[in-house]
Amino acid sequence: MDVPGLIGIKIGQSQGFLEDGTRVPLSLVRLDKTVVTQIKTSEKNGYSSVQLGLGEKKKVTKSLQGHFKKANLTTTPRYLKELRLEKDTALEAGSQVISEEVLAPGDIVKVIGTSKGKGYAGVVKKYHFKGGPKTHGQSDRHRAPGSSGQSTTPGRVYKGKRMSGRMGSDTVTIKNLQVIDLENGVLSIIGLIPGPRGSLVTVLKTGVNKKFKSIYKPQSADEIANNQVEPDVIAETESVVEEQNSEVPSEAVEVKPDSQIDLVEVSDESSETPVEEAKAENAPSETEEVKEDVEETK
């Protein structure tokens, strides 16, 4: 699409791991339904730009109602942001911006946001001044700014002198960040971006990383179940088993089922135990018994 970037809501910060195991800090940005609310052309307005709307607002002024009515919008966006274009675009007011067509993993972006407000701060916190000496009787100059000007010449304090005052709530731009993932309307960026949670940020594409490394995503239980052995692999294994079975030699012993096993009759002679057989072998014969009786009579 002819859109240089997107606007989104900062969710917070997290961490992730690349495919090579490197741990990286992540900033998460929620990309809701972004619509085109106005198109400016060089002929009519003197420059080319596209105005994007994000979110939904309940209470709207009459002037904004008329502005959104021209774009034929049924809802009123909460945030409006204008992005400059190099040339006129073919987009029309009221069309929806598809985030996947604007940003993709591996893109180099710069993020513009409003930093956190710190309130009134002194020069030590705001500008990291060193402060005054802590000895030689200096009891109340530890965090003081010191001299703020000269004497007679010029006799005043220069404009832009660093002094205490309100800190934060400034427009901050962080460059050379990388988009690592875009899924379910959530943009993951490597690095830290300005602003608190829930603040509006602008993500502009500036280039593409040629040495892009994707983020590691652990598989869920459903993905593991779906990524089981494929049918082709099962068919290959079955064919290999059939080939191995066909190579078995024909002389292999055939195992008969239980119904075909021949029963062998056991005779009474073989019913004697080995101990009884041994005793029978060692028993004296009949001739020996007769000789013993003759010797006794003598």
User: What CATH number corresponds to the domain at position 201?
Assistant: 3.30.160.810
Same domain, 144 and 15: no
293 in a domain, yes or no?
A: no
Same domain, 143 and 213: no
Q: Which domain holds residue 134?
A: 117-168
End residue of a domain, out of 221, 243, 260:
221
Whole-number pLDDT of residue 229: 52
Q: Using the predicted structure, report yes or no on whether residue 292 has a pLDDT greater than 90.
A: no
Same domain, 124 and 108: no
Q: Using the predicted structure, report yes or no on whether residue 247 has a pLDDT greater than 90.
A: no
91 in a domain, yes or no?
A: yes
257 in a domain, yes or no?
A: no
For residues 210-231, give the mean pLDDT.
Answer: 74
Same domain, 155 and 191: no
Count structural domains, the chain: 2
H, E, C per residue of the chain: CCCCEEEEEEEEEEEEEECCCCEEEEEEEECCCEEEEEEECHHHHCCEEEEEEECCCCCCCHHHHHHHHHCCCCCCCCEEEEEEECCCCCCCCCCEECHHHCCCCCEEEEEEEECCEEEEECHHHHHCCCCCCCCCCCCCCCCCCCCCCCCCCCCCCCCCCCCCEEEECCEEEEEEEEEEEEECCEEEEECCCCCCCCCEEEEEEEEECCCCCCECCCCCHHHHHHCCCCHHHHHHHHHHHHHHHHCCCCCCCCCCCHHHCCCCCCCCHHHCCHHHHHHHHHCCCHHHHHHHHHHHHC
Same domain, 216 and 152: no
Q: Using the predicted structure, report yes or no on whether residue 235 has a pLDDT greater than 80.
A: no
Average confidence score pLDDT of the chain: 84
CA distance 36 to 55: 12
CA distance 12 to 27: 6
Q: Using the predicted structure, report yes or no on whether residue 27 has a pLDDT greater than 90.
A: yes
271 in a domain, yes or no?
A: no
Q: 0.85 exceeded by the pTM?
A: no
Same domain, 136 and 198: no
Same domain, 65 and 181: yes
Same domain, 96 and 122: no
Q: For residue 271, give both structure tokens.
A: 């019913």
52 in a domain, yes or no?
A: yes
For residue 287, what pLDDT band results from cuts at 50, 70 and 90? low
Answer yes or no: are the C-beta atoms of 177 and 193 closer than 8 Å: yes
End residue of a domain, out of 136, 168, 200:
168
Same domain, 47 and 176: yes
Same domain, 75 and 102: yes
End residue of a domain, out of 168, 187, 211:
168
287 in a domain, yes or no?
A: no
For residues 185-195, give the mean pLDDT.
Answer: 95
For residue 219, what pLDDT band results from cuts at 50, 70 and 90? confident
Whole-number pLDDT of residue 11: 96
Residue type (1 letter), 224: I
101 in a domain, yes or no?
A: yes
For residues 228-256, give the mean pLDDT.
Answer: 62
Same domain, 20 and 163: no
